[in-house]
Amino acid sequence: KKDIVISTGLEVDFISGFEQNITSFLNTYGKYLDDSILSVHFLKFENDYTCIDFSKSTFTEFVERLGSPMAVYKLYYKTLIDSITSNLGDYKPRRIGHITLVHKFQHTLTEVVQDHEDIVNILKEIKHQQLELDVNTAGLAKPYCLEVYPPLPYIKFAKELEIPLVFGSDAHQAKDLHQFYNNISNLL
């Protein structure tokens, strides 16, 4: 009891069109949370939702459906901006999760997507909204990503903007806790 503190937290998905549901959920359970992260995994296109990080095939099929990798990236960043600027009530998470999750399958693409301006705009909006940034090393373990979410130059830019940085390993199992922490600890 004197050596270990157990906190309660959630990663809350921002899903376009479900803002009232998310707010209601947070109003009900937010008071019980010590920490939370707001993330985007699902993108709405027409009347369907696609989990862009579910699998390589799901991602590539979504790219084909939207017509280009850039179209997917633009939709991701638009949804991310919507999550950052949405009023989700008093318990809205203060930390924004893996802002470049759309890079998870970047090495399956035949073109390099130029999204520098989008990422810079995301970071500026995080600063404007006085939120925190999740610095997530899980992408280093993903064979089609091989980078931190966000990549190192953007972590440095976030520091210049004085955005609070919080390390995350996105561990879905115990062996992933603190994975690659030593790769970025000097930046935190």
pLDDT tens digits, one per residue of 65-84: 999 999 999 999 999 999 99
pLDDT tens digits, one per residue of 129-179: 999 999 999 888 899 999 999 999 999 999 999 999 998 877 776 777 777
The reported pTM is 0.93
- Collapsing DSSP to helix, strand or coil, 162 comes out as coil
| Cis status, amide bond into 164, omega within 30 of 0 | no
**Among 57-61, 85-89, 176-180, whose mean pLDDT is lowest?**
176-180
pLDDT tens digits, one per residue of 108-141: 998 899 999 999 999 999 999 999 999 999 888 8
Query: What fold, for 12-187?
Result: TIM Barrel (3.20.20)
List the domain boundaries for the chain: 12-187
Q: Give the mean model confidence (pLDDT) for residues 4-31.
A: 96
**Distance separating alpha carbons of residues 113 and 33, to the nearest angstrom:** 37
